[in-house]
Amino acid sequence: MSFTIVEQGTARLNRSELAVPGSNPTFLEKAASSPADVIFLDLEDAVAPDDKVQARKNIIQALNDLDWGGRTISIRINGLDTHYMYRDVVDIIEQAGQHLDLIMIPKAGTAADIYALDMLVTQIEDNMKLEKRIGFEMIIETALGMANVNEIAGASKRNESLHFGVADYAAST
């Protein structure tokens, strides 16, 4: 039995989730009026490599300009092992962090991955004087992530949910 007390995260209604590629401004506009409880704006798999920088700009503009109607807004960043991830996190939080609820972390492999991202997000939030704490959703998509799932789940007080990515997991085993 563990006596570690973990701070209670924000309770969020999550009956339905809509995935939207950040590369398509029309889809972003339509998503804002969707009845889904959670809107996840994708910078990873749904965006071609040549479109990733523009997709990030589209998402920042959509977060700032559209009325999301109180829905939970999550951003799936690019993988921690890519050169896109840093700018995804820094640019979006610095320019639109007040409108962001969650960061979805693909291919979470170790607790150190989550800890490193937590440190980066904390520093940006502190620097920007954001009052709202951004939560984390981790996607377990590799054999490494599955082997470390317990440690990943406890790696940050920001952690709100774990997802299992069956297709990428199957490809990794």
pLDDT in tens, 116-146: 999 999 999 999 999 999 999 999 999 999 9
CATH number at residue 95: 3.20.20.60
Low pLDDT (below 70) residues in the chain: 1-10
- Specify the pTM: 0.92
In a domain, 106, yes or no: yes
Q: Is residue 49 part of a domain?
A: yes
Asked whether residue 4 is assigned to any structural domain, the reply reads no
**Residue 9 falls within a domain, yes or no?**
no
What domain range includes position 137? 17-172
> 97 and 133 in contact (C-beta within 8 Å)?
no
Q: Structural domain tally of the chain?
A: 1
5 occurs within a structural domain: no
